[in-house]
Amino acid sequence: MALDFDRLVAQMRRLALEAGDVILEIYESPDFEVRSKSDESPVTAADEAADALISAGLRAAFPEVALVTEEQAASHDQQVSTFLIVDPLDGTKEFIKRRGDFTVNIAYVEDSVPVRGVVYAPARERLFYTLADGRSVEEIGPFDKDAPGETRPLSVSIPDNRALMVVASKSHRDQATDDYIGRYAVKDMTSAGSSLKFCLVATGEADLYPRLGRTMEWDTAAGDAVLRGAGGRMIRFEDHAPFAYGKPGFENPFFIACAPGVLLAEP
């Protein structure tokens, strides 16, 4: 059964904003506990509270659609190609360091392609999402949970390959990434946390985002949907093949997110 995309987008947007409120309440508190998960990655009460809120909302609204979420390990055992996928707090390290570059990510993947998504950065007051027709927008705040406000359409840049704008991870930069970026003529380099990197390419604020490190599908699906809705590309690093979702364990290969006009260096 085909989903009603108007209803889907409205639900994802509202849940992202509600989760953002829960996250900010903890973020702005004097102190919060940080624990380690089985893979040694950090988790906070904000991750868990946002996950509970979003998961309950999605399951109530779309009980027929499979749900994959970072904070529920049992959901990682599914083998699906059409599903909802959630990272309730992407950029936990940025959250812990109170740097603001963390996001709420919710996406809908259809036949292994992320076709709708929302990325909300509550501390930055930036909200990006796909409309029901698949086009991407940034909404201008303040944000009303029940009624979208003014939006501006997103479109990737027409890059100057002699002077590229590059964005890379704030917490996961390594020599391999720097070496790869060094193969381009770079005008300026910026760093950002979480899925905001995809959004910077989607808005045209950056041309290229390479990631030569481990990520999971919940880290990328929502930002990828926003990027695609703005005319951008998401490809595998090793062979420049199309990037697909629903992989075993939901683990990603290295990737490149970019405007189509970027002349890509060979891996």
Residue positions in the annotated binding site for Mg(2+)? 70, 87, 89-90, 219
**Known binding-site positions:** 70, 87, 89-92, 219
**Known binding-site positions for substrate:** 70, 89-92, 219
Residue 93, helix vs strand vs coil: helix
Element (H, E) at 210: strand 208-211
Taking CA atoms, 14 is separated from 155, 192, 240, in Å, by 24, 25, 35
213 Cβ neighbours under 8 A, 6+ residues apart? 169, 172, 174, 177, 254
Place of tokens 């040694």: 40
Single-letter residue type at 208: L
Nearest-angstrom CA–CA distance, 256 and 238: 9
